[in-house]
Chains A and B, each alone.
Chain A
Amino acid sequence: MSKFEKNDNCGTSCGCGSQTEGYWQDVENKVLDPQAVSKEFQDGEFDSFSVEKSRRSFLKIMGFSVTALPLTGCIKIPVKKAIPYLHKNDTVIPGVANWYASTFKGVPLLVKTRESRPIKIEGNDKSMTTMGGVGSQQQASVLSLYDSNRLNGPTISGAEVEWAEFDQKLKEDLKAAKESGKEVLIITPSISSPSEITLIKEFTKAYGAKHIAFDGTSDYSQVKANEISFNAKAKNSYDFTKANVIVSFGADFLGTWGNSSTNTKQYVSRRDPSSSEGMSRHIQIEPVMSLTGSNADYRHTKSLKDSRDIILGVLKSLTGEGPGNTSNNDIVSGIVKELKANKGKSLVISNDSDINVQVVINKINQAVGNYNSTISVMKSDYKICADDMAFEQAVNSMNDGNVAAALFVDVNPAYSFHNSKKFESAVKKVSTVVSFALSNDETSVLAKYNATANHTFETWSDSLVSDSELSFTQPVIQPLFGSRMYTETLMSLMGKSGSFHDYMKSFWSKDFYPKSSGFATATDFWNKSLHDGVVSLDGLSKAASISSMNASSYAKKVASIEYSSGLNIVTYQKTAIMDGDMANNPWLQELPDPITKATWDNYVMVSPMYAKENSIKTGDVVTLKSKDHSVTLPAIVQPGTEKNTVAVAVGYGRKVAGKVARNLGENAFAFYTYNRGATQTADSFGTLAKTGKFKGLAQTQTHHSMEGRDIVRETTFADYSKNPKAGNEKKAKLVNIYPPDHKKDGHQWAMAIDLTKCTGCSSCIISCNAENNVSVVGRQEVANRREMHWLRIDRYYKGDENQPEVMHMPMLCQHCENAPCENVCPVMATVHSSDGINQQVYNRCVGTRYCANNCPYKVRRFNWFNYDRSDKLANMVLNPDVSTRTRGIMEKCSMCIQRIQEGKLQAKRERRDLKDGDIKLACQQSCPGDGIVFGDMNDKDSKIAAFLGSDRNYTVLEELNVRPRVSYLTKVRNK
């Protein structure tokens, strides 16, 4: 017995002991009216506990205790380890997220961290360039951070060493290389980081090194063409907001070409039929269906040769230069008519890797006065673009034994160079090879030194994301492995002391602070820029002077390009995997390709016509052979593919990579060729042969026609202009045998999706996966049609299968007011909330799957197994606000209920009403086209209310009277 229990009065004035009668200090200690007390415990309710003192009751109690006590031993008490902070970080509050601005692959973004773990990526609204847009690779980058395949520190010849030893040995070797009189090369991807470029310049000076930029898939042809046309070694900057007409020759600018998030944002802003500017018109000419092509108003399936002929035809009609063309005159005249009508307000773009074609494109744009209106060519010292020719020469130089040291920073030419065998043998002739890879790749295993670099989210850097905007990269977590920023390794090799952070800070105060205005000190400027993540400054780049030139000779060169016989092998990038550097990311692998809806694979795309003639079915394994390379992959019959064209995606066929990417598909970079002064992506020709084998593709959608059903409603801009209700005239006559609905007070959540704004980019899917801890199921399970995505994008084709029209429709739980899933659940595991959300109660679900069967939209996802969560490191990415699901239970879109709760709580804490836009769902936030609107439909001034009231608004399968809370706006094509 403790002394406190003994004492009647604890000695303080707490009132526990003596109490002056009539006064009480708190409710607990108030001595209650004895009568009231006895009333409260009437009828001897509590007396039944007092045991009658008899032998029988003694035995009863004994019996109970003796049997009950051992039972308590059977209860497993979980071992809980709560380790308190030794020094509590005052910025980390458990349960409250911290947001940091950073950049990934040139896109400004915000990193959400919980208890210091980065768990989610969202766009940075403050950026003038991306306006908060963010792509799927950015969304998925946070999972790559937790890749347990990453290297655990520096290695020399495969052996782990300390950094000090590493630096010392490498320094000696580099010194020897420098003194040998041979070349020292530092090879990076295209860089747009001012600080890094400055540092690399210092490094090249210190070691007499040469800096070469290499990209697996580069924009070299455009850069080179700009050099020829305008003497500016720079890429084009586009402004889609000013373009009334966009003519794209194969450029997938909404998916994989250029800065797609920015492009999408700008492009979609001109796709609003109700805007006063009117809709932009988009014409796409391409040999294979791209995401961008699927959004075009007019899309022409044309071979690469035909595309080039059309370009020449357009040039001839506009300027009289060049040989012109002979075929496709209707398309040429159509384009010319549009371009002439929109002088200075059009855009002609091409992804052609032929330099001459790009020069002709430049000339066309110039002829219609697009420069400095929709296109600008800005020279900047802070951007270095990949140079195919320089790298080609470097490989030759290595092969000739003229290179003593080569440093590979974040590049993987052993995988992505068109002739990887040549590269490998060349590298073997270099005595000091350094790789800065995060995890082993095809190049790093050839290197003696591996200066394991940090992930972007463990790194300080900056990048020039447009011509005038800088974006910060700041570390959001301590390095998880024993890696080091490559910039610090370079500094250490140069004998520079201090961190790259300090280097960068002093660089900023020297170079950028003078360009800024309104900051008292350089530190103020730094802090503000770092906080916002982005800062716009003048004088970061200079416009090239656009002078007129004659393109005749270039057009002639284009006309004289020789095409071999056979099938034209076109390579392309997939939206998620791109050039394969993030191939080890399971979220990206499982993201369905927006067009083929295939996951986890690359494949040979063939046209329906070719497939019919050669009786090829989707899934037939075929061998595609070019002059010096062949791949054996399943075929996919893809509508919108030109008849004599086959397409294979690069980014697959990684030989040295983590377990996710390893040996998945085949490497198509080998179909690249170096021709006409640049790396050509579509210059291979070859033959296709069936192997007789079959390998089913892991597609999330296998039926591609809407079967004439009223699912996606669409109209043309011409019809819309006459009648905003065009295409949306149908209205189901609904009858209800039940009395009027439940009360709809308070918040009533609703969502609307504008099908005109949805490009199908699929960024929302990754965002949803990350936010809601959606399981990755793997190739086989996707092939079994069991992917877990809560949000999918249905893609339908219409019309001629060689020239189909494409529709993208995001489909998620429709949160029906009369939800058919709710009344069939025997245990009430799915119920309706008072604010209109269909809720799934995981704990209560027994897994009858009746709800999924009865869902007309088939959006419910069942946990067929316990999906793999054994990777402890990868589990760090889990959102602690959302429980993970075990096998045997149903799950589906929750409308990010955790975000709704957070938003409501925030408003409550600030003692204010919830404002429209306070709550943004994960899919909505990440939509680069702002096509998803969510809000309270009871709020008459809200955006959602406006969307619901739109003439274009409809619900899918309205006639079922399930009353979805998710509605759609008709798709309008500018025809």
Chain B
Amino acid sequence: MSDAHVSKFRQKLITEDRSYKQISEDILDTLEAPPTKGWFIGFSLSALVLTIGTIVILYQVTTGIGTWGLNKTIGWSWDITNFVFWVGIGHAGTLISAILLIFRQRWRTGINRAAEAMTIFAVACAGIFPLIHAGRPWLLYWVFPYPNTRGSLWVNFHSPLLWDVVAISTYLTVSLVFWYMGLLPDLASVRDRTKSKMRKFIYGIASFGWNGSTKTWHHFEVLSLILAGLATPLVLSVHTIVSFDFATSVIPGWHTTIFPPYFVAGAIFSGFAMVCTLMILTRKIMNWENYITVGHIDAMCKVITLTGTLVGLAYGTEFFIAWYSGNEYEQYAFINRATGPYWWAYWSMISCNVISPQFFWFKKLRRNMTFVFIISIFVNIGMWFERFVIITTSLHRDYLPSSWAMYSPTWVEIWTFIGTFGLFFTLFFLFIRFLPGIAVAEVKSVYRYARENK
């Protein structure tokens, strides 16, 4: 519209020329068309896995934690590994929507919706584990500090598990509100486009009476900023607090002050890897290569390299401090990680988390979607192993060698974990089927980026 000069370094955020109408159609038509075969297959598979997972969890809850492979020495393993893994995955969404919004990284608009959805689904998956890992999950409401007739018996504010409850539930709430609030203008678009009465009704309610007036838009923008402000510290706090579960303990390998930044870096690392995995698939399946561009993937790969290197630095620091501390238990814990019976887990972690992201120093590789996809999977595997290494290998050989033990998962634990992927993908498939997978209104706002002189 203006004739301002456009720097040649600016890259178009939406690569092909489209009209605003076309943008709406590109994204919203899929909601109205009958689902594709690919969607059906994907959804059915996910739902099947979810069902199996649910049955397995029911079996475990009715029979006892004994159906898992834990023992007197190793009280947590896959359960909390999976919990931290999923919480970590759930980190990218809020980072993209909140921190990048505040830093005015406008490229985020192409991926923020899906990333936020992913956050919520991942936190939902994560939330399952603290619930079912308890011996008596039906009494778990006792961890909430509410007035009760038991005395009144209060919760233990010293316990990091309580902090976890607060941190995770706050994070889930804020993420959910942020995400849903962002959906409102797009839901209104769906409402206005559809010819089906029922859809009109449902999306009408869901869009909270959005009318597109300037005042509405004004409120929307203000609220976005406020929520972004609220969510930004949460990005840092959630994983910091999750790391306190370990850092405040006395177990060598857990008791370290490096954990908060280390965990946050790791979480962003794994979160971005997961966003890459999902976005590479989505842009292909939904034909959204125009909106989720190679540039997006490129940018995320840079974040992955940075955080992956940070994580690597943390691994090194841990070893240095173990040596420097002169604490024999600490030293043994780390030597045991690298050379003990679980060495394979440690070296899987190192190769996936520290070595694999280093390929992203090459622009060519960052822009090769197949390669990025493979590396993103590796990073996710590596980050799962990181939590396994921290939790299991620290516990399995702590202070008294008489209690040293080994752990291996049972089929129940394996299927519970697979089941959470079922939940995650079921929700994700439902999401791209019923809600706009890209923030239409926001994408439109950046369409003109690098096109201002046209």
* Interface 9-residue window, one of B25-33, B401-409, B417-425: B401-409
A486 at the interface (CB under 8 A from B): no
Q: Are B72 and A862 in contact (CB under 8 A)?
A: yes
Mask: chain B, 156-177; 1 = CB below 8 Å from A; 0 = not: 1011111001000000000000
Contact A796 B402 (CB under 8 A): yes
Distance to closest chain A CB from B329 (angstroms): 8
* Given known A-B contacts A707-B401, A845-B136, A858-B73, A888 and B65 have beta carbons under 8 A apart: yes
Shortest Cβ gap from B306 to chain A (Å): 32
- The answer to whether A957 has its CB under 8 Å from any CB of chain B is yes
Contact across chains for A858 and B400 when beta carbons are under 8 A apart: yes
Set A703, A825, A844, A852: member contacting B159, Cβ < 8 A = A825
Q: Could you tell me if B250 and A858 are in contact, using CB atoms closer than 8 angstroms?
A: no
Chain B residue total in the interface (Cβ 8 A)? 49
Docked Cα-Cα span, A875 to B69, in Å, equals 29
Most buried by B among A826, A848, A864, A865: A826
Contact A856-B143, Cβ < 8 Å, known A784-B71, A847-B135, A889-B135: no
CA distance A809 to B399 in the complex (A): 14
Say yes or no: A887-B64 contact (C-beta < 8 A), given A846-B142, A858-B400: yes
Q: Counting CB contacts under 8 A, is B429 at the interface?
A: no
**Is there contact, CB below 8 Å, between A888 and B159?**
no
- Complex contact B165–A706 (CB within 8 A): no
Cβ B75 vs Cβ A787 within 8 A: no
A860: B residues at CB distance < 8 A: 72
A662 at the interface (CB under 8 A from B): no
Contact status A825-B156, CB under 8 Å: yes
Q: Is B45 an interface residue (CB 8 A)?
A: no
Q: Is B398 an interface residue (CB 8 A)?
A: yes
- Given A794-B400, A824-B248, A858 contacting B63 (CB threshold 8 A): no
A820 and B399 alpha carbons, distance in the complex (Å): 14
Measured CA separation A850–B245 after assembly (Å): 9
Q: Contact at B402–A811, with CB atoms within 8 Å?
A: yes
Within the complex, which residue of A792, A846, A849 is in contact with B139, where a contact is CB–CB below 8 Å? A846
Of all chain A residues, the one with the shortest Cβ separation from B63 is: A865
Known A825-B156, A826-B162, A957-B399; contact A853-B76, beta-carbon cutoff 8 A: yes
Tell me which residues from 289 to 335 in chain B have a Cβ below 8 Å from any Cβ of chain A.
Answer: 328-329, 332
B249 within 8 A of A: yes
Cβ-closest chain B residue relative to A866: B64
Q: Is B395 part of the contact surface with A, judged by Cβ < 8 Å?
A: yes
Please report the C-alpha to C-alpha distance between residue A781 and residue B71 in the assembled complex, in whole angstroms.
9
Tell me which of A709, A785, A846 contacts B134 (CB under 8 A): A846
How far is the CB of B141 from the nearest CB of chain A, in Å?
9
Q: Given A824-B249, A853-B395, A854-B251, are A862 and B75 also a contact pair (CB < 8 Å)?
A: yes
Instruction: Tell me the nearest residue of chain B to A597, going by C-beta.
Output: B402
Q: Is B66 on the interface with A (CB-CB < 8 A)?
A: yes
**A180 neighbours in B (Cβ, 8 Å):** none
Is B155 in contact with A826, judged by CB distance below 8 angstroms?
A: yes
Whole-angstrom distance between the alpha carbons of A846 and B139 in the complex?
6
Chain A 948-960 interface mask (CB, 8 Å, partner B; 1/0):
0000000011001
CB of B59 closer than 8 Å to a CB of A: no
Chain A proximity mask over B61-102: 1 for CB below 8 Å, otherwise 0: 001111001111101100000000000000000000000000
Report if A785-B402 is in contact (Cβ < 8 Å); known contacts: A847-B135, A847-B136, A853-B249. Answer: no
Report if A445 contacts B (CB, 8 A). Answer: no
Instruction: Tell me the nearest residue of chain B to A707, going by C-beta.
Output: B401
- Which residues from chain A contact B158 at a C-beta distance below 8 Å? 823-824
Given the interface contacts A826-B165, A888-B135, does A702 sit within 8 Å of B404 by beta carbon?
Answer: yes
Q: Indicate if A863 sits at the interface (CB-CB under 8 A).
A: yes
Interface status of B154 (Cβ within 8 A of chain A): yes
Contact in complex: B159, A824 (CB < 8 Å): yes
Which residue of A has the minimal Cβ distance to B141? A846
Q: Say yes or no for B133: interface residue by CB 8 A criterion.
A: yes
**CA–CA, A707 and B404, complex, Å:** 12
Determine whether A426 belongs to the interface, using a CB cutoff of 8 Å to chain B: no
Known: A796-B401, A866-B64. A889 touches B136 (CB 8 A): yes
B1 to chain A, nearest CB (A): 57
Q: Judging by beta carbons under 8 Å apart, are B405 and A962 in contact?
A: no
A706 touches B401 (CB 8 A): yes
Distance (whole angstroms) from the CB of B353 to the closest CB of chain A: 24
Which residue, of A706, A846, A852, A857, has the highest number of chain B Cβ atoms within 10 A?
A: A846
A963 is an interface residue with CB less than 8 A from chain B = no
Tell me if B64 and A811 are in contact (CB < 8 A).
no
Which residues of chain B are within 8 angstroms of A171 by Cβ–Cβ distance?
none
Task: Verify A888–B405 contact, CB threshold 8 A.
Answer: no
Is A559 among interface residues, defined by CB-CB distance under 8 A? no
Q: Mark B381-404 against chain A: 1 for CB-CB distance below 8 A, else 0.
A: 000000000000001011111111
Distance of A477 from chain B, by nearest CB (Å): 34
A673 within 8 A of B: no
With both chains docked as a complex, state the minimum distance between the C-beta of B341 and any C-beta of chain A, in angstroms. Answer: 11
> Which of chain B's residues have a CB closer than 8 A to the CB of A827?
142-143, 153, 155-156
Given contacts A787-B72, A846-B139, A864 and B66 within 8 Å (CB-CB) = yes
**B140 on the interface (CB 8 Å rule)?**
yes
Would A857 and B400 be within 8 Å (CB), given that A826-B143, A828-B153, A862-B65 are in contact? yes
Expressed in whole angstroms, the minimum distance between the Cβ of B147 and any Cβ of chain A is 15
Query: What residues of chain A lie closer than 8 Å to B161, measured between beta carbons?
Result: 824-826, 848, 850
In whole angstroms, how far apart are the Cα atoms of A792 and B400 in the complex?
A: 13
Point out the residues of chain A lying under 8 angstroms from B398, CB to CB: 856, 858
**Residue among B139, B154, B406 facing the most chain A CB atoms (10 A cut-off):** B139
A704 to B404, CA, bound (A): 9
Q: Point out the residues of chain A lying under 8 angstroms from B405, CB to CB.
A: 702, 785
C-alpha gap A689/B102 in the complex (Å): 73
Which residues of B are found within 8 Å of A846, using beta-carbon distances? 134-137, 139-140, 142-143
B328 touches A848 (CB 8 A): no
Docked Cα-Cα span, A854 to B74, in Å, equals 10
> A705 contacts the other chain (Cβ, under 8 Å)?
yes
Which single member of B72, B245, B397 contacts A785 (CB below 8 Å)?
B72
Q: Give per-residue flags for B185-214: 1 if the beta carbon is below 8 A from chain A beta carbons, else 0.
A: 000000000000000000000000000000
Given A852-B75, A853-B395, A888-B64, answer yes or no on A845-B135 (Cβ-Cβ < 8 Å). Answer: yes
Most buried by B among A707, A845, A858, A962: A858
A681 to B75, CA, bound (A): 44
Distance in Å from the Cβ of A762 to the closest Cβ of chain B? 14
> A864 near B328 (CB under 8 angstroms)?
no
**Contact status A888-B251, CB under 8 Å:** no
Provide the bound-state CA to CA distance between A702 and B402, in Å: 7
Question: Are B75 and A888 interface neighbours, CB within 8 A?
Answer: no
Q: Could you tell me if A828 and B155 are in contact, using CB atoms closer than 8 angstroms?
A: yes
- Assess whether A856 is in contact with B250, with CB atoms less than 8 Å apart: yes
Q: In A768-791, which residues have CB < 8 Å from any B CB?
A: 781, 784-787
- CB of A218, distance to nearest CB on chain B (Å): 36
Query: Smallest CB–CB gap between B69 and chain A, Å?
Result: 8
Closest Cβ of chain B to A529, distance in Å, is 45
Flag whether A701 is at the interface (Cβ < 8 A).
yes
Report Cα–Cα, A192/B75, bound state, in Å: 51
Does A544 lie at the interface of the complex (its beta carbon under 8 Å from any beta carbon of B)?
A: no
Residue numbers in B under 8 Å from A857 (CB-CB): 399-400, 403
Provide the bound-state CA to CA distance between A856 and B73, in Å.
Answer: 10
A965 within 8 A of B: no
Query: For residues 262 through 283 of chain A, which have their beta carbon under 8 Å from a beta carbon of chain B?
Result: none
A694 CB, min distance to chain B CBs, angstroms: 15
CA distance A581 to B155 in the complex (A): 51
Contact B402 A794 (CB under 8 A): yes
Task: Decide yes or no whether A131 CB sits under 8 A from chain B.
Answer: no
B401, A705: Cβ atoms under 8 Å?
A: yes
Contacts of A705 in B (CB 8 A): 401
Confirm or deny: A795 has a beta carbon within 8 angstroms of a beta carbon on chain B. yes
Would you mind naming 6 contact pairs between A and B with Cβ atoms under 8 Å apart?
A: A823-B158, A823-B159, A844-B142, A847-B65, A857-B399, A888-B64
Top 3 A-B residue pairs of the complex, sorted by shortest distance between their CB atoms? A847-B135, A888-B135, A864-B66
Known A826-B159, A889-B135; 9 more pairs at CB < 8 Å: A711-B400, A784-B71, A811-B402, A825-B159, A827-B142, A849-B65, A858-B400, A861-B72, A862-B75
